Homo-oligomer: A and B are copies of this chain.
Amino acid sequence: MSELCPRFEKAMQIISKRWVGLILFELLDGSKRFSEMESNLPISGRLLSDRLKMLEQEGIVDRNIYSEFPVRIEYSLSQKGESLRPVIEDIQNWANDWITHEEVE
């Protein structure tokens, strides 16, 4: 294997992990709680937990704990995560232009 840009590869490794796109889409709208994302997305708690942990480790997502009752934990995009906005918006635009009604039914 020859030279593929290693940074691009690493970026794709993160972004193309299953559910990451949808999680970012949710968070671009503002910070969200675990249960909120779980009910908004077709993803199980197990994987949502996995992905949020991974995105936190990658510095893309921040985890904020509020010691209320019951405990409130909010996930939001870091600056690094927020700067993925153009990527997600381009995907949205492409989808609007090229994904037909029939394809999504």
Q: Are B39 and A7 in contact (CB under 8 A)?
A: no
**Count class of interface residues, chain A:** 35 or more
Instruction: Give the residues in chain B near A90, CB-CB below 8 Å.
Output: 86-87, 90
Given known contacts A2-B39, A12-B21, A39-B1, A7 and B87 CB-to-CB distance under 8 angstroms: no
CA distance A42 to B83 in the complex (A): 28
CA distance A9 to B5 in the complex (A): 27
Nearest first, the 5 A-B pairs at minimum CB distance are A11-B95, A12-B21, A7-B95, A6-B104, A7-B99
14 A-B contacts, Cβ less than 8 Å apart? A1-B39, A2-B39, A4-B40, A5-B95, A7-B104, A8-B92, A8-B95, A9-B104, A10-B103, A11-B98, A12-B21, A15-B91, A84-B94, A90-B90
